[in-house]
Amino acid sequence: GENVEQHPSTLSVQEGDSAVIKCTYSDSASNYFPWYKQELGKRPQLIIDIRSNVGEKKDQRIAVTLNKTAKHFSLHITETQPEDSAVYFCAASKSVSSGSARQLTFGSGTQLTVLP
Amino acid sequence: GAVVSQHPSRVICKSGTSVKIECRSLDFQATTMFWYRQFPKQSLMLMATSNEGSKATYEQGVEKDKFLINHASLTLSTLTVTSAHPEDSSFYICSATRTGTGTQYFGPGTRLLVL
């Protein structure tokens, strides 16, 4: 099955700096890669996602890049703010038969701390 | 939007009792719902896939007789932890996939503490 590795496990940056979190996946059939932000004790919130037919996607301060050949994808947060502090999870999934929903395989998470 | 609710948000029970957790999609129909367990400072681990009108599919290592899943309608799935033990204490989160799309929307989670 799919295996997703995520690095680093913890990341501290100064407010205003950029943060980068990287993930690798093992199943070359995976074609959907969402990123979730989870604050302590709360639900994971989808912040951005990318599909395998696209190499990069950006939404304001957040961007995701995908390298299908190397099987890795990254989350980039620019101009970080204290409210960006949370745990970030990457995930990967692949298309399944019609009528079935995708299962997500999550990375181990990255605790991002933005220092004021 | 796509709102998913869970009830209860937290529950404390005695060892040996059963606990039922409900997951509802409030404004959309969800043919498939997923149940995850998350231990402190760890990732979400998929427990089972719940399909409306059929038996759930359990991940390897998850006891189907201990974690009973029922998905009787397109908006409700329930997870029952039977004969709960302290090691079952965890954060249980469900997600629902809007029929026809691949995006998972997560519930707020249920924190279970078994004494």
**Cα A26 from chain centroid?**
15
Neighboring chain A residues of B108 at a CB cutoff of 8 Å: 42-43
| B40-A14-A46 Cα angle (round to 5) | 50
Taking an 8 Å cut-off on Cβ atoms, the answer to whether A43 and B109 are in contact is: yes
Neighboring chain A residues of B41 at a CB cutoff of 8 Å: 109, 111
Instruction: Quickly tell me which residue has 């399944």 as its tokens.
Output: A96
pLDDT, one tens digit for every residue, chain A (116 residues): 889 999 999 999 999 999 999 999 999 999 999 999 999 989 999 999 998 888 999 999 999 999 999 999 999 999 999 999 999 999 999 876 555 567 899 999 999 999 99
Residues 33-52 of B with CB under 8 A from A: 34, 41-46, 49
pLDDT, residue A97, reads 57
pLDDT, residue B53, reads 83
pLDDT at B83 over 60: yes
pLDDT at B63 over 60: yes
Cα B89 from Cα B11, distance rounded (Å): 10
Give yes or no for B97 touching A (CB within 8 A).
yes
Q: Tell me which residue in B32, B93, B107 faces A101 most closely, judged by beta carbons.
A: B32
Question: What share of chain B has pLDDT > 70, as a percent?
Answer: 97
Nearest chain A residue to B6, by CA: A43
- HEC profile of B26-78: CCCCCCEEEEEEECCCCCCEEEEEEECCCCCEECCCCCCCCEEEEEEECCEEE
Interface-testing mutation among A40, A102, A110, with chain B (most B C-beta atoms within 10 A): A102
Q: How high does pLDDT run on average in chain B?
A: 92
Nearest chain A residue to B38, by CA: A41
